[in-house]
Amino acid sequence: MAKKSGSSKIKWHRLLGGLLEELLTPVDILVFTEFAVMSQSPVADILLLRKKRGGWTSEQLQRVPDGIRDTNAKHILIEFKYTESVDEDAFKQLLGYEYFYRSSKNIAAHKVQSFMISSKTPRQLFFNKFGYSQGGKKGVYYSSNSLLKNITLVLLNELSDDIHNAFIKCFASHVKSRESAFKILTEYGLKHFNEHLQWFIQGLWRYWFTEKGGIMEQTEITPAKIKEMGKMWGEFILSTLPVEERLKGLRPEEVLSTFRPEERLKGLKPKVIEAYLRKIAKNN
């Protein structure tokens, strides 16, 4: 669990956990933030639990990043480091979380996989010290150290520009990596996701690129606050667009849903309305 900085009011693992909850809950993945690995302390940053047996579903794979999507473990522990660097104490902490979680829940070792997700990219000395080397995918590292073999290291700055990585890359430390992630999500189309996830992504974008260093730094940033900012920002942007832009890309039924019943019928001749009503009655 991230140590609390004296000046920082942001608990980054809560924001990442909030994003993952909005992203993964709709595809049957349980997400818990600050999950108690025992009946009493300690508390892990994030725990993902897959509901379904077997491998990932195609819907889940569209949302789960490299590294995590490559494991068959049903229980996934995540330790997230944003402002802090990954060091020996961080690994000891995560090893402890995994051990106590498995022991208290009586879960076999092969059913649990731990991930250290880092916003920063360590120096080469780190890789030499802990035996980490890149696997088959960019940004995903595995250790040759026997104690760390079950902890996969994921570096957000290095993940590929695939849509399934873009969500967590919103927390990368490099501005270019964050910009790339938001660009990918925008081009893919946030309308593919539920409005709460849309608000969360929009809120993160607003924080990173319009509010950071401003008044928002003086208030506590929580997942709820991020969603609130995103909702307000989305509604403001939408209100400034011409009608043609607001309706672009919507299906006919989505366009009609934006109008009141009397507005939908306006301009139609009575014969057309009557014919349509007879058709509905006949089909029913």
Q: Are 154 and 117 in contact (CB under 8 A)?
A: yes
Tokens of 67: 């590294």
Q: Are 167 and 68 in contact (CB under 8 A)?
A: no
Q: What is the pLDDT of residues 206-234, one digit of tens each?
A: 887 776 544 445 457 777 777 776 676 55
pLDDT at 237 over 50: no
Tokens of 138: 């960019």
Band (pLDDT 50/70/90 cuts) for residue 138 is very high
One-letter identity of residue 270: P
Nearest to 261 by CA among 273, 250, 249: 273
Phi, psi dihedral angles at 181 (to 5 degrees) = -65, -45
Tokens of 247: 């309706």
pLDDT at 71 over 60: yes
Q: What is the pLDDT of residues 190-211, one digit of tens each?
A: 777 888 888 888 888 888 777 6
pLDDT at 238 over 70: no
Q: What is the pLDDT of residues 99-111, one digit of tens each?
A: 999 998 899 999 9
CATH for the stretch 12-188: 3.40.1350
Question: Rounded to a whole number, what is the distance in angstroms from the first to the last CA of the chain?
Answer: 58
Tokens of 216: 């928002």
Q: What is the pLDDT of residues 249-273, one digit of tens each?
A: 555 555 555 556 666 667 777 777 7
Please report the pLDDT score of residue 240 as a whole number: 41
pTM of the model: 0.72
Measured between alpha carbons, how far is residue 200 from residues 31, 69, 95, 107, 221 in Å?
16, 22, 31, 33, 12
Considering only residues 275 and 139, tell me which one the structure prediction assigns the higher pLDDT: 139
Q: What is the pLDDT of residues 40-58, one digit of tens each?
A: 555 678 888 887 667 899 9
Q: Are 33 and 46 in contact (CB under 8 A)?
A: yes
Q: Are 64 and 56 in contact (CB under 8 A)?
A: yes
Q: Which residues pair with 217 in a beta bridge?
A: none
Q: What percent of the chain has pLDDT over 70?
A: 76
Nearest to 10 by CA among 83, 116, 118: 83
Domain range list for the chain: 12-188, 245-283
Segment 82-102 mean pLDDT: 92
- Calculate the average pLDDT of the chain: 80
